Structure formats: structure tokens, C-alpha cells
Amino acid sequence: MIYLEVPKRLQPIVNQAHQVAKHVFRPISRKYDRAEHAYPKELDMLAALMDGLSAGSGGSGAGVDGLQRDDPSDDGVRNGANMATCLGLTELCWGDVGLALSIPRQGLGNAAITAVADDEQKERFDGLWAAMAITEPGAGSDSANIRTTARLDGDEWVLNGEKIYVTAGSRADSVVVWATLDRNLGRAAIKSFVVPHGTPGMEVVRLDKKMGIRASDTASITLTDCRIPKSNLLGTPDIDTGKGFGGVMQTFDNTRPIVAGMAVGVARAALEHARELLEKEGIRPRYRGPLFAKSAAEAELLRMEADWEAGRLLMLKAAWMADNGIPNSMEASMSKAKAARVANRITLRCVELCGGHGYSEGDLLEKWARDSKILDIFEGTQQIQLLIIARRLLGKRSSELR
């Protein structure tokens, strides 16, 4: 049974993350929004803090490098790494989404390593900061259309291709690259490879300027006859055409609730701040009585709070299912689709409700509106999430419903 309160064991994680968001992220938020591509040195200390958060969660891990899928057991319900990370990232993104994405050793590649790597690889890559490179110029939301190739040559893999929109792609220690072993075999041949920075043949060719999350670097990377050890392929090199690429896609089942948590965090920040500004103007939401009896601003705040709560509950359910070994592909997509869309709507509507305050750089509301949009795009766009949900509900394969 799922309970809707924050588990007592995870409350210290939530409290610590909130203090970081309030006292570290918020004070430097505008500074690194203006200084795009400048590394936030204040975050160096947070790698150790994230290790502490992991220790505080009872050994299950509170960062993305602790995400894992546990088999169902008879030990009762669990609130493990997935729930801890969702709750922690929610608080951190209440402070700043871009800075949360820039914390060392918390790249999406770390989640991929945990989801796919064997025990030896997990130990070997422990402490690594890994970005994740999936998107290509010709393969955006369709991850199965990846053209980057990997060819085995003796004891080395040779990678060739181009990756774009790689979060933390220039700062991380390594990049987890998705590539195909055989283009003719489709999804089943897609595997993930750990490529350390400095490897000959891998080059960061561009850092993108963005609408939001400017504190986070977003890189374009080329791979030209890039050679890595045979052991840097995550998981098994076997191609199972019946199974597809479920192994690497499992990463998304873990990380999409995390993105939902990030959206819940930034939406809550906007809601709380808008409420404070409106209260100064004498507008205080009343929770009794029908909506039509309230002012337009009051009614809008109440609608947004209800939407926000729906996104939060979907996020909690998807994370709880992951912790308890329950397949959650549909729920992960539901949480990401709902929470991200809600965050977009809430942050923009709060800007509108607060007028000049909301639109001015003297306030963080306009920044939160810009930052929130990426949460509806990366880790699979809104349209892709709805397509995944439809396939699960209708029992259709990807070839049957596109």
C-alpha cells in the first residue's frame, strides 16, 4: 500500500535538500543564469553532500547513481533510492533546476550505469560523474533511430557518430553513449558505452546557448573512430531481437519520475512565490465555497494547486513502484507528462498573475518559467510520453502504434 506522507526515514534528506536549495542555490541562481557556461564552483561541495544524503537514506542511495530496480520481496513496501531521489530533487529544483542538473556525480549517465551495468562495472565506475548521450541530429525523440555505431575490433569498441543536447557533456568525467551494433537489427542492437573524456576521437564541438537552465552545460559531441575498452560496454553484447532494447530503456523508467519531481519542485516554487506577492496586494485564496464566488486570481491559484497535487501524486506512485520492483513504464511516462506540463503552465501563469514583478529580472518567476520548459522536452517529449502511455493502455507494440 502506498502512503502519501513523506516517509520519516527520508525526511532528513528532504530537509537537507531544502536547505541547500534555499541557502546555496537561490542566492546564486541569477548569477549563473547570466553567466551561461560558467561552472558553478559553489557546487563542488555538493558531491560530498549527495554522498551524505545517500548514506542518510539507509544505504539505498539518494542520488541518481543509486537508482536501481529491486525484485519484489516479502519484506513489505519499500521506500528506497527512487523515492529518496525524487523527493531530494524536488527540493533542489525548488531552488534552481539548472544548478540541480550541474551537481557533480549526478549526471543521467550515472542512472544508466546503475540500471544496466553488471556488478563489476558498478564497482569500477563508482564515484564517476557520467553524462548521457542519446539524442542525434537525425534521431530526436525516437531513440530507436540512433545512427551512432559501435564496432568490435579485437579488445576495443570503435564508436562513430554525433550526439547533441548532452547535459553536463563537457563537465562530466565520462559520457554514456548510446550506439547500435547493427543498424539492420533495429532497437535490439542498441547498447550503451562508457566513454571517458580525453579519449582520442571524442570531441566536444559546441556548447549550446539555451532559453533556460543556463547554469547547466549542454554539449554537442562527435565520435570519430573513438576506441574504448571492450569492458566499457554496459551489460551484455548479446543482441536479443525478441527482447528489444528494454535494458537501456529501463533507465527512463527510473529517471522519468525524477524529471517529474524536478517539475513538481519548480512549480511549487512559482506557486509559493506568486501567492506571497498576491497576498501583499490583498489577494488571499479561500478554500471554502465555490470557485465562481471567488476572484479570478483566487480561482486560478486553486486550480493550479489542484493540478500541482495531481502531478506530485503521479510522481510518488511511479517512484514507489520502481522501489518495489513493480513494472512502471506507463506510470513513469504518466508522471513525467503530467508534472512537466503542469510546471510549464503554472510557472507561466504565475508570471501573468504577478504582472511586472513576474516579467522582470528583478524576480525569479520569469527564470522559473524559462527553466520549466526543458522538463517537458528532455527524457522524452510530451508527445512521446503520450504515445508510450497509449501503447501500454491499448496493448500495442511500437510498430503497431506510431
Question: Which positions are annotated as active-site residues?
Answer: 379
Angle between helix 81-95 and 246-280 (nearest 10):
40
- Rounded distance between C-alpha atoms, residue 348 and residue 352, angstroms: 6
Neighbours of 400 (CB within 10 A): 9
Tell me the backbone φ, ψ of residue 203, rounded to 5 degrees.
-140, 130
Q: Which residue has the cell 564515484?
A: 127
- Rounded distance between C-alpha atoms, residue 82 and residue 88, angstroms: 10
Identify the helix (H) or strand (E) that includes residue 131: strand 130-133
- Cα dist from 283 to 229, 301, 303, whole Å: 62, 10, 15
Tell me the backbone φ, ψ of residue 191, rounded to 5 degrees.
-130, 170
- Cα dist from 400 to 140, 241, 246, 395, whole Å: 20, 17, 17, 10
